[in-house]
Structure formats: structure tokens, C-alpha cells
A and B are shown apart, each in its own frame.
Chain A
Amino acid sequence: MVRTAVDNLEPNDAFRAISALRALADDLEGEYVMRALGKGWSWAQIAEALDISRQAVQKKHRHRINAAK
């Protein structure tokens, strides 16, 4: 059912969905990075799980640590 849904959208609806998915993905990433750190994950482990560099994941989410303090 999901496959049918994504294949039959009007372009603007598709673009709205894509923007929403990107925002959701980043929101979830930020939340789960914080949860993982809280559970004792290292930045290196988080980076590996996301398949991005440690530098990139820290740069992206370090402000959340500062905000949480």
C-alpha cells in the first residue's frame, strides 16, 4: 500500500511529503542521538550506526548538548 501511495502523487504533494520526511528524519536523528548518548553510546558508535563521520554527527548535534546544559 505504501508503494502505491508514493508512486501516484502529484508533484507538489510529493515535494511536500519529501520536505516533511526530511524534517522528520532530522528531528528523529536529533532526538535519538541524545537518547543514545544518555544510554552511554559514544559519538563514534552513533556515527557508525548512521553511517556518517563522527565529525559530521558532532557538528550537527553538539548544540543540543549545549542546550541541554
Chain B
Amino acid sequence: MFERFAKETRATVERATEIAESEHATLVQSDHLLLALVDPPRDSVGRTLAEAGLTAERIREARDREFRSALASVGVDTGRPTPPPSPRVRRGRTTRFAPSAKLALERALKVCVERGDRRISNRHVLTAIVGAEVGATPALLDELGTTAQEVDRLAGSG
């Protein structure tokens, strides 16, 4: 699958892995992919997002707010920052992908095919990440004061 990735997109996946490892997460999740696009911004997609206020710092803050709001809905109150996802048993050094990240990359391929593009780009990956209709992503976008459609529009303008 990675053979259809543009060079920029392979760099995003590598960066996402670095970010996940720096956060002591044993699995790379879709939020790490999103952060990888803007931490640091390496292309027009990353720059457009950052200029629109979707910086790495704001994404992390929004992730923390989403975490606290999810807990608040069941009566739990904590000021702690978002911990890494529940650790799995470590098998060797290579960090593996959570379903959210795998699904994002699979959807990115679909988006690429639908648009008739040859290579999977960071634009496709971004559309795929924010296109998640379940899980924490819709709430994360909400906390960022945006929507999947708005992010798509931004990515298109970059």
C-alpha cells in the first residue's frame, strides 16, 4: 500500500510514528497523523492548516478538552492531560497502527482513487482523517471550532 504514497505522505506517516513514540503511545492513532501534518508544517496542506489556526498546539489542547469532556459525560472530573491510549504489550521496537490510523490511510487511498489521482497525498490523508464519522474525531473538530467540510475546504485551497 505504501508504494502508492507520495513522498510527502510517507514523511507524514513517519512523523506520526515519531510523535506517537514521543507521547509514549504504543499505537499510532489518527490524531498523531493529524498532528504530523502540522508539526511541523512541511507543505501547503500543513501551512494552510496552521494559518487557519489548526496548529499542533491547538490540536493538542482540543484533544485534551475532548478527553475531559468525554469523562465529564460520565461524571469524572480530571485536570490531567490526555494520557496515551491504553498500552498494549510491546512487541519489539516498531510502533504499530491503531485502527483509527489504518482506517484513515485506507480511506485516503479511496479518496485518491475517487479523485482520479495517482498518488496518495497529504490532502487525501487529511480528508480521510477528518472524515471519520465515529469516535473522538467529530468531537475533536468541534473543540477546534471547525467541521470536516471546513477542513476539506481549507485543504482544497492550500
Contacts and interface: CB of A to CB of B under 8 A. Distances in A.
Interface of A: 1-2, 5-6, 9, 12-13, 15-17, 19-27, 59-60, 63
The majority secondary structure among interface residues of chain A is helix
Nearest to B140: A16
Contacts of B89: 59-60
B86 A16 contact: no
Size band of the B side of the interface?
A: 20 to 34
B75 A15 contact: no
A9 B86 contact: no
The majority secondary structure among interface residues of chain B is loop
Query: What are the 9 tightest A-B residue pairs by CB atom distance, in nearest-first order?
Result: A27-B83, A2-B75, A20-B70, A16-B70, A17-B74, A26-B86, A22-B86, A23-B83, A17-B70
A21 B76 contact: yes
A6 B70 CA distance: 11
A6 B71 CA distance: 10
Contacts of B71: 17, 20-21, 24
Interface in B47-85: 66-67, 70-71, 73-76, 78, 80, 82-85
Interface in B117-158: 134-136, 138-139
Contacts of A20: 67, 70-71
B90 interface: yes
Contacts of B73: 5, 9, 13, 16-17
B87 interface: yes
